[in-house]
Structure 1
Amino acid sequence: MTHALPGYLCPEDGTRADVRTAPWCCPVCAGPWDLDFTPDPASALEPSAGPNSLWRYAAALPLPGAFSVSLAEGNTPMVPLAERVHAKLDYLMPTLSFKDRGAVMLAEVARRLAPRRVVADSSGNAGAAVAAYCARAGLSCEVFVPEGTSERKTGRIRAHGAAVRVVPGGREAAAEAARAAADGAGVFYASHVFNPYFLHGTKTYVYEIWEAMSGRLPEALVVPVGNGTLLLGAALAVEELGRRGVRAPALIAVQAEAVAPLASAFAAGAQDAEPVAQLPTLAEGIAIPAPPRARQILAAVRASGGTFLTVPDDRLREAQADLARRGLSVEPTAAACWAAVGPLSPTDPLQGRTAVLPLCGAGPK
């Protein structure tokens, strides 16, 4: 039986498109797509009866029918960090980062569309995740990376059978090369920024918290933000669970002090973010100078009653070391939230609220 895939919807101008024939971005404004999909709040959501993966939330996911792509991703544990703060260990995913949540969705969509090849752009975790799930799905995959990307990272991508295309220039140059390739016939662009199916994968992070907390959510969700894929997924889940009567938490977004266009825009009361310089920071994973979904991220944080926090590199380094002393080995970006709200913070941004933060990427791999 063939099941139709929910179509794309542009959040800026309302343009709609069929997933099977749509370009990778809105043809009117060139912005990222949203998905024309809302789960039925009356449908039964019984994750304990589902598989030991994020597919246990099938009733809330936009992929009808049977799925076949999985590496038993999701269902990651939560551990206490402080009296009212828990960490969710998303670095225990199959490819060692939360990006698996979105990558498995993109691979399943691509499997159903049967393209000649899948292309992606990444300098790290997203590339490894897309390569792994394409391998699982039997799809040909190419990942475009900026020059200077370490052999450690490209080696992880190649190990899954994906081709690595090194592009002269920085991260944006690699993205432009991937998008040029995506315009070709028979190509699926597995973009963790522009493709909304990725966001519907990351929203399972919050569904798992809801399940672990017996049908509740904490008073705050603290999330690292660069392109905002985890935060926007969290916002989707909060909205969907709200229709089921679950009280919504505040979204607290964390950026690196060196590259913080969203935090600056939030503080200025702006609806969109101006691009900033690409300065060096330990938190490479969230150092995004011009996030394509800036307007959506800012709106989601404001609507939740949340805020933005920034952390300098010295506190990031200290937080990473503090987590390691607690038995949790994570990459610097994954320490950003603990640096922002943990004991190293000069203030108490949580103000006694219960909170969950993600440790979203493993340390030395």
Structure 2
Amino acid sequence: MLSCMRCSRQFGDREIVWRCPCGGTLRLSGYGAAPSDGRGIWRYLRGLPLDASRIVSMGEGDTPLIECRFGGRAAWFKLDYLAPTGSYKDRGMAVLVSWLRSAGVTHVVEDSSGNAGSSMAAYCAAGGIACDVYVPDYTSSGKCVQIEAYGARLVRVPGTREDTTRAAERAGQERTSFYASHNWSPWFLQGIKTWFLEVFDALPEVRNVVVPVGQGSIALGARLAMEELRAAGRLERLPRILAVQPAHCDPLARAFEAGLDEPVRIEKKETAAEGIASAEPVRGAEVLRAVRETDGGFVTVSEAEIWSAHSSLCHAGLYVEPTSAAAAAGWDKLCGAGRIDAAEPTVVYLSGIGLKATDKIAGHVQ
């Protein structure tokens, strides 16, 4: 059952709706996290109201969790950039596109800074759904090539990430299309939560998770998984969610520090961490609440700190995009400030592969 987070209105599982008429976000509830005999993400998604014959899967999930030294410190790194399309978005997109197929949707519109668009294009190609992907004009060329290679129609939008969202929303109002925004979708979060479930099964003593945050799906997925694990009696003390934002785009970090319940309005600057350059996160209030409920916090990182962390990760054999490096930079900064005890098991989340941003990385190196 779907329910509105603002007005509590309820919707059926197969209703073709991406947000409540009141403007509120939707939540899918009633499904636990008990693992089954499936593989990848699907072993945690037993009971979801999906037509089993319409599921679209390419082996997402079961990514490595490795212990690695970085900047003289050790932590566990979740390598979710080793997903089928090169980003963690595959977890959520497998569930979202499976729901779209189950509901009989044949044409979708998505907006993305790149990774979600690549993932949507791939899963729609595998599921036989026509797909238009709207991206900001500044999106890395590697991501744009990937989107078009899957057969999706790529639409570049001049201006900001938020301009791209508004253009996609308008396109999704056409009768033949459905605006399948991953940022609004409760189905997407059901897939994303599996990253923390995998971490917990491998490292139940985990005390901190350090995640990059733009729209906040990684943090929200972790909080959803924690809630389900606690309800199942498997988790008593919640690990802290420590959220990282670039200093050039930090509406949630500023709100958190000011004790606010909603993101603040900011003037966004260009950042290498394009995947988390979201000035208007649609679930921002939910992200702030999730971080506070785990006694977590926010940290911002400069462009220099992002690139320094990127270099260190590369020298450790981990070739990620700058957005992932922001998480590592945040972790290093939190440790340096004494906000993370080196003795506490900590997981740093690496969300996207560097091959998608080779043009930006090459430009910086040169």
TM-score (norm 1): 0.90
Alignment match, 1:3: none
Question: Is 2:19 the counterpart of 1:32?
Answer: no
Question: Is 2:188 the counterpart of 1:194?
Answer: no
Alignment match, 1:98: 88
Question: Is 2:170 the counterpart of 1:183?
Answer: no
Task: Confirm or deny: 8 A CA contact 1:272 1:294 kept in the other structure.
Answer: yes
TM-score (norm 2): 0.90
For 2:265 and 2:207, the matched residues in 1 are separated by 31
For 2:334 and 2:260, the matched residues in 1 are separated by 29
Counterparts of 1:220-235 in structure 2 under 5 Å? Answer: 220-235=208-223
- Deviation string for 1:95-124 (max 9, x for gaps)? 001011111111101111122301101131
* Number of residue pairs matched by the alignment: 350
Letter in 2 for 1:199: L
Q: CA offset at residue 172 of structure 1?
A: 1.5
- Deviation string for 1:283-319 (max 9, x for gaps)? 1111111211111111111111111111111111111
Letter in 1 for 2:348: L
For 2:147 and 2:113, the matched residues in 1 are separated by 10
| Equivalent residue in structure 2 for 1:323, among 310, 313, 331 | 313
Q: Give the 3 Å change call, closer, same or farther, for CA 343–150 of structure 1 in structure 2.
A: closer
Gaps of 5+ in 1: 1-5
Q: Give the 3 Å change call, closer, same or farther, for CA 308–64 of structure 1 in structure 2.
A: farther
- Deviation string for 1:151-187 (max 9, x for gaps)? 4322110100111122333222221121122223243
Task: Confirm or deny: 8 A CA contact 1:24 1:182 kept in the other structure.
Answer: no
Task: Confirm or deny: 8 A CA contact 1:315 1:344 kept in the other structure.
Answer: no
Task: Confirm or deny: 8 A CA contact 2:161 2:277 kept in the other structure.
Answer: no
For 1:172 and 1:163, the matched residues in 2 are separated by 20
Question: Is 2:70 the counterpart of 1:77?
Answer: no
For 2:200 and 2:122, the matched residues in 1 are separated by 28
Alignment match, 2:5: 11
- Deviation string for 1:76-106 (max 9, x for gaps)? 0011124652001001001001011111111
Task: Confirm or deny: 8 A CA contact 1:23 1:183 kept in the other structure.
Answer: no
Q: SS at the partner of 1:342?
A: helix
Alignment match, 1:339: 329
Q: CA offset at residue 75 of structure 1?
A: 0.3
> Mean Cα displacement is larger for which, 197-206 or 143-152?
143-152
Task: Confirm or deny: 8 A CA contact 1:261 1:289 kept in the other structure.
Answer: yes
Q: Give the 3 Å change call, closer, same or farther, for CA 66–240 of structure 1 in structure 2.
A: farther
For 1:342 and 1:180, the matched residues in 2 are separated by 41
Counterparts of 1:45-194 in structure 2 under 5 Å? Answer: 45-47=34-36, 49-51=37-39, 53-59=40-46, 61=48, 63=50, 65=52, 68-82=55-69, 85-194=75-184
For 2:138 and 2:277, the matched residues in 1 are separated by 16
Task: Confirm or deny: 8 A CA contact 2:209 2:348 kept in the other structure.
Answer: yes
Q: CA offset at residue 149 of structure 1?
A: 3.4
Letter in 2 for 1:15: R
Q: CA offset at residue 34 of structure 1?
A: 1.7
For 1:18 and 1:153, the matched residues in 2 are separated by 34
For 2:138 and 2:74, the matched residues in 1 are separated by 41
For 1:67 and 1:116, the matched residues in 2 are separated by 13
For 1:138 and 1:331, the matched residues in 2 are separated by 29
Q: Give the 3 Å change call, closer, same or farther, for CA 212–108 of structure 1 in structure 2.
A: same
Q: CA offset at residue 61 of structure 1?
A: 4.6
Q: CA offset at residue 334 of structure 1?
A: 0.1
Task: Confirm or deny: 8 A CA contact 1:84 1:354 kept in the other structure.
Answer: no
Q: CA offset at residue 26 of structure 1?
A: 1.5
Alignment match, 2:196: 206
Letter in 2 for 1:10: C
Gaps of 5+ in 2: 357-366
For 1:292 and 1:344, the matched residues in 2 are separated by 26
Backbone CA RMSD of aligned residues: 2.0
Q: SS at the partner of 1:328?
A: coil
Letter in 2 for 1:144: Y
For 1:182 and 1:266, the matched residues in 2 are separated by 33
Alignment match, 1:219: 207
Q: CA offset at residue 40 of structure 1?
A: 4.5
Task: Confirm or deny: 8 A CA contact 1:31 1:292 kept in the other structure.
Answer: no
Task: Confirm or deny: 8 A CA contact 2:114 2:140 kept in the other structure.
Answer: no
Identity %: 40
